[in-house]
Amino acid sequence: MGKLITIWNFIRRYKYLITIGIFSVIIGFLDENSLYRRFRYAHEIQLLKEEIQKYRTDYQNSTQRLKELTSNPEAIEQIAREKYLMKKPNEDIYVFEDNQ
């Protein structure tokens, strides 16, 4: 019975501190809208925004390259030579590889 009285006196003496501690744990970690989840979601939103920005720049570069290809026949020839190793009948092609 002595231990129960000691525990009860401890709880009675520090009831506000215990209440604040329990409240902090619930709000910080256990709640559906906890601070931990909010920080995790904010980080995920930041990563998604960076990914959206990357895709926007890729889209702009691709659109610019497409406009160049539709308006400039020399650009089509350059791609055919570089990417598909096509050549004119009287040319030789040399391919250099980097061995790193």
Tell me the C-alpha distance between 10 and 93, whole Å: 88
**Which residue type occupies 36?**
Y
**Which residue type occupies 77?**
E
- Could you read off the pLDDT of 23-61 as tens digits, one per residue? 988 888 888 888 888 999 999 999 999 999 999 999 999
**Residue 87 near residue 81, CB atoms below 8 Å:** yes
Q: Is the pTM of this model over 0.85?
A: no
Strand intervals (E) in 1-100: none
Distances (CA, A) of 86 to 78, 80, 96: 9, 6, 15
